[in-house]
């Protein structure tokens, strides 16, 4: 392992779907930051630095990190932001702890739904000359990816339906409170309503610490970082084969090399995948090396990726259960941290020791990350 200091996740907070308007965004960010600190048994004075993952278009502000300095505890503290993706805030927080310059980091991300049109906010991310007029939003890009996969794997739609059904079953266990389960979302062919989910407001925060801090503070159940990879694909969809995910292959290679994972099909107890659509989960099985494409059908028939199967994927219910769009990537990492810490809640997998989190974001999952966390 390359890290100068080994980072661990010592506190996590995932806010269930926030329904209604009784809390401002500042209050939501304050609540989630304090909840993660409380989970770690710390107060803000214990925190050396903060990294937030927030997005100007979704927040409806220019430089949205500015508003966050108060509610996260960033005043008179080191605070940076990664607007590219929520998961990048985790990556940078982990790098800062790994450098030994910081004992602790608070990483926070959120995704409001106050934008009058999420689709229009996302369309601003398309280049103004070629793609914006299509019109292209994230769901349309996911639909193009689904089409690409159906083209090379004509039965993919059958397995996509099965993946969505599996994740909804998992979601019913993980989030028994009905308001946490948003309605089926708008369809974009070939994505049916069953394969999409309405965006909801959400927030997530984690506390990271270095190994000496963990020892000195007797932190309970740390989730140790074993490996971390992140990579990007090109922006222009025409430059990509959307049925493949070379950036995820690269990210997985980085993470597995750091973690010493040789056979990913047998290495992990539990996995969280950013199922922005069920097709994205199918692509990730292959790109992460969890199941080559020609084995997926047989494994799904055996319940391999379901609760009780050999490698449960998305016991949290995944994005199709809970879709705070911008912070779904960091939520996957927090879910795996909680699984290996043994505090995932109703969907805890008994004896989970090593987990893999996949975070993907952008048009047709342009940004891809893979994070390996373990109980020891």
Nearest distance from residue 33's CB to another protein, in Å? 14
Does 127 bind another protein (CB under 8 A)? Our answer is yes
Token pair recorded at residue 141: 């890009």
Position among 9, 10, 108, 125 found at the interface with another protein (CB under 8 A): 125
- Cα 54 to chain centroid, rounded: 14
Does 279 bind another protein (CB under 8 A)? Our answer is no
Position among 34, 69, 192, 265 found at the interface with another protein (CB under 8 A): 69
* 220: Cβ contacts below 8 Å, ≥ 6 apart: 41
Does 134 bind another protein (CB under 8 A)? Our answer is no
Does 217 bind another protein (CB under 8 A)? Our answer is no
Residue span 30-59 as binding mask against another protein, x where in contact by CB under 8 A, dash where not? ------------------xx-----xxx--
Does 329 bind another protein (CB under 8 A)? Our answer is no
Position among 9, 29, 136, 247 found at the interface with another protein (CB under 8 A): 247
Nearest distance from residue 183's CB to another protein, in Å? 26
Does 60 bind another protein (CB under 8 A)? Our answer is yes
| Integer CA distances (angstroms), 54 to 63, 326, 337, in order | 9, 8, 21
The three state secondary structure string of 109-169 is EEECCCCCCHHHHHHCCCCCCCCCCCCCCHHHHHHHHHHHHHHHCCCHHHHHHHHHHHHHH
Token pair recorded at residue 129: 């000359």
Q: Which of 249, 240, 271 is nearest to 362 (CA)?
A: 240
Token pair recorded at residue 46: 């214990």
Position among 27, 38, 100, 215 found at the interface with another protein (CB under 8 A): 100
| Integer CA distances (angstroms), 324 to 12, 239, 261, 270, 321, in order | 17, 28, 31, 22, 10
Select the span of 142-150, 167-175, 224-232, 262-270 touching another protein (CB under 8 A): 224-232
**Nearer to another protein by C-beta: 235 or 375?**
235
CA atoms within 13 A on the CB side of 365: 37
Nearest distance from residue 7's CB to another protein, in Å? 9
**Nearer to another protein by C-beta: 69 or 348?**
69
Nearest distance from residue 157's CB to another protein, in Å? 28
Select the span of 67-75, 179-187, 287-295, 301-309 touching another protein (CB under 8 A): 67-75
Does 102 bind another protein (CB under 8 A)? Our answer is yes
Nearest distance from residue 236's CB to another protein, in Å? 8
Does 103 bind another protein (CB under 8 A)? Our answer is yes
Counting residues that bind another protein (by CB under 8 A) gives 68
Q: With left for phi above 0 and alpha for psi between -120 and 50, is residue 234 left, alpha or beta? A: beta
Report how far residue 123's alpha carbon sits from residue 111's, in angstroms, rounded to the nearest whole number: 17
Token pair recorded at residue 362: 């952008």
Position among 20, 22, 117, 128 found at the interface with another protein (CB under 8 A): 128
Cβ atoms 253, 289 nearer than 8 A:
no
Question: Cβ–Cβ contacts within 10 Å for residue 30, how many?
Answer: 18
**Nearer to another protein by C-beta: 158 or 234?**
234
Token pair recorded at residue 285: 């099985």
Query: Interface with another protein by CB under 8 A: which residues?
Result: 2-4, 48-49, 55-57, 60-63, 65-67, 69-70, 74-85, 88, 91-92, 94-96, 98-103, 121-128, 228-235, 239, 246-247, 249-250, 254, 258, 362-363, 366-367
């Amino acid at each position: 392992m390359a890290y100068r200091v080994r980072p661990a996740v010592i506190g996590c907070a995932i806010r269930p779907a926030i329904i209604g308007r009784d809390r401002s965004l500042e209050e939501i960010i304050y609540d989630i930051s304090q909840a993660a600190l409380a989970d770690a048994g710390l107060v803000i004075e214990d925190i050396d630095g903060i990294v937030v993952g927030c997005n100007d278009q979704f927040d409806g502000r220019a430089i949205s990190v500015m508003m966050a300095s108060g509610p996260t505890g960033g005043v008179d503290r080191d605070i940076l932001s990664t607007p590219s993706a929520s998961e990048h805030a985790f990556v940078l927080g982990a790098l800062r702890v790994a450098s030994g310059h910081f004992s602790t980091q608070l990483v926070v991300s959120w995704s409001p739904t106050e934008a009058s049109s999420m689709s229009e906010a996302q369309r601003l991310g398309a280049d103004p000359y070629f793609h914006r007029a299509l019109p292209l939003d994230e769901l349309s890009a996911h639909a193009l990816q689904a089409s690409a996969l159906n083209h090379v794997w004509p039965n993919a739609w059958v397995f996509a339906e099965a993946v969505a059904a599996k994740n909804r079953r998992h979601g019913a266990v993980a989030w028994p409170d009905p308001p946490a389960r948003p309605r089926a979302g708008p369809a974009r062919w070939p994505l049916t309503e069953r394969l999409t989910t309405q965006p909801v407001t959400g927030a997530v925060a984690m506390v990271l610490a270095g190994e000496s801090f963990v020892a000195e503070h007797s932190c309970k159940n740390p989730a140790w970082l074993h490996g971390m990879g992140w990579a990007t694909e090109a922006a222009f969809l025409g430059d990509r084969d959307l049925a493949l995910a070379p950036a995820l292959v690269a990210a997985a290679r980085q993470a597995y090399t750091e973690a010493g994972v040789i056979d990913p099909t047998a290495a992990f107890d539990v996995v969280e995948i950013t199922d922005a659509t069920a097709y994205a989960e199918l692509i990730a099985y292959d790109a992460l090396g969890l199941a080559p494409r020609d084995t997926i059908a047989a494994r799904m028939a055996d319940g391999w990726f379901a609760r009780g199967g050999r490698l449960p994927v998305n016991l949290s219910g995944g994005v199709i259960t809970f879709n705070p769009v911008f912070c779904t990537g960091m939520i996957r990492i927090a879910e795996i941290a909680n699984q290996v810490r043994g505090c995932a809640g109703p969907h805890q997998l008994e004896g989970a020791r090593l987990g893999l989190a996949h975070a993907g974001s952008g048009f047709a999952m342009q940004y891809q990350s893979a994070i390996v966390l373990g109980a020891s």
